Amino acid sequence: MAFFKKPLLRVPVCTFACGFATAAFQLVIALLLGADSFVFSDFYALALPLLLFAAAGWFFMRGLPCKTLLLSALLLDAIILLADGLEALLAMQGITPYVTYIFTLWPFSYFSTPVSLVTVRLGLAPPGAASYLLPLLPPLLFAVFGLFAKSDHTAGS
C-alpha cells in the first residue's frame, strides 16, 4: 500500500484500478449471463466511468496540489501513448491478444471512453491522427481536484 501513497502514481494507479475492476466486472457478467446476453450499454460506457472518475478524484486526489496531479496525469499520458503504441505494434504483427489487452493496456485509458463517446455523438470527433490525442485529455482533468487542496499561502492571510 506504500506504493499507492506516492502522489506521482495516484492518477495512473486509480485509473488502472477503475478500468481493471470494470473489465473484470463485465467479464464476470458475461460469463454468468452468457456472452450473447451481455449488452454494452451507455451506463458502462458513459455513466460508470464518470462516477468512478468523480469518486477516485474526491477520495484519492482531493488533497494533492494541482502541480502534483498534473505531473501524475502526464505520467499516465505517457503510459497511454506507450500502451497504444504497443497495441498498434502487436496489431501490425497480426497478434490480437484481446484478453491481455483488456486487462493490461485498456485500463490505463479507461476514462477516455466517455470523452470519445460524447465527441462522436455530438459530431465533434477530431479527424484522423488527432483522434489519437483525445485519450490524453481525461487524466489532465484530475487536476481539478487539486483546487480543493489546502494552500499554505492562505494560512498566513
* Cβ atoms within 10 Å, residue 22: 19
Place of cell 498534473: 70
- Alpha-carbon span 37 to 40, nearest angstrom: 10
pLDDT band at 4 (very low <50, low <70, confident <90, very high): low
* 140/121 Cα distance (integer angstroms): 22
Above 80 in pLDDT, residue 138? yes
Report the pLDDT value the prediction gives residue 100, as an integer from 0 to 100.
64
Q: How confident is the model at residue 129 (pLDDT cuts 50, 70, 90)?
A: low
Is the pLDDT score of 154 beyond 50? no
Check residues 74 and 111 and name the one with the higher pLDDT.
74
Q: What is the mean pLDDT of residues 3-22?
A: 85
Selected residue with higher pLDDT from 42 and 73: 73
- The identity of residue 107, as a single letter, is P
pLDDT at position 43 is 65
pLDDT at residue 80, rounded to an integer? 87
Indicate if the pLDDT at residue 153 is higher than 50: no
> With helix as H, strand as E and coil as C, how does the chain read?
CCCCCCHHHHHHHHHHHHHHHHHHHHHHHHHHHCCCCCCCCHHHHHHHHHHHHHHHHHHHHCCCCHHHHHHHHHHHHHHHHHHHHHHHHHHHCCCCCHHHHHHHHHHHHCCHHHHHHHHHHCCCCCCHHHHHCHHHHHHHHHHHHHHHCCCCCCCCC
pLDDT over 80 at 81, yes or no: yes
pLDDT of 35 over the 80 cut: no
Note if the pTM is more than 0.85: no
